[in-house]
Amino acid sequence: MKQLGLKKPDFLPDFGQEKRKAVLDRFFTNLDHDTYNEILADNFTLQERRPGAKAYNKKDYINLALDTVKPSIPDFTWTHATNGSKDKSDFSLVTVQATGRFTGKPFVLPGLPQLEPTGEKFLLAEERQMVKVEDGKIVKIEVLPQEGAGPRALYKALGGKA
């Protein structure tokens, strides 16, 4: 049906739900270059749903998550929850919460002073992400605005003043 440009009728079950959930589970569980390069589509974008929010492409997002955050917070984890179902716009809702301990390399976000490791543990606020999966790849993440979550909240949780 998809190849014909037709939408699935509402009365049919979502046959892709389990595969979509598996992709999402893998993405939020395996924070490594191989997984992210494989699972993120080449045209991937991530953006917070608020005016003026920075948009990330695949390269930018991998750099932020795996080359900036992970070296500073070696035990960084996303606790996530989703059933893999999708809405009428083909997005799956994923609730995530980041946690870890700042024991690695200094943390640097562009435009903000570098932070030195403190050994402190953090837990950010829960955040909701709308994630679109197509053909086994994540093509888009839209982050719903949430105070206490996201890169700036992480910077503050690590001791920075943003």
On whether residue 12 sits in a domain, the answer given is no
What total of structural domains would you count in the chain? 1
- Is 105 inside a domain boundary? yes
**162 belongs to a structural domain:** no
Q: What's the rounded Cα separation, in Å, for the pair 34 and 29?
A: 13
**45 in a domain, yes or no?**
yes
Could you tell me if residue 25 is inside a domain? Answer: yes
Q: What does the buried/exposed string (b/e) look like for 101-119 if buried means 16 or more CB atoms within 10 Å of the residue's CB? A: ebebeebebeeeeebebee
Residue 5 lies in a domain: no
Q: For residue 77, count other CB atoms closer than 10 A to its CB.
A: 14
Instruction: Read off the CATH number of the domain in which 153 is found.
Output: 3.10.450.50
pTM for the whole thing? 0.86
One digit per residue, the tens of pLDDT, for the chain of length 162 reads: 556 676 655 655 556 789 999 999 999 999 999 999 999 999 999 998 888 888 999 999 999 999 999 999 999 999 999 988 998 899 999 999 999 999 999 999 988 999 999 999 999 999 999 999 999 999 999 999 899 998 889 999 999 997
What domain range includes position 128? 17-157
Cβ-contact 100, 79 below 8 angstroms:
no
Note whether residue 81 is domain-resident: yes
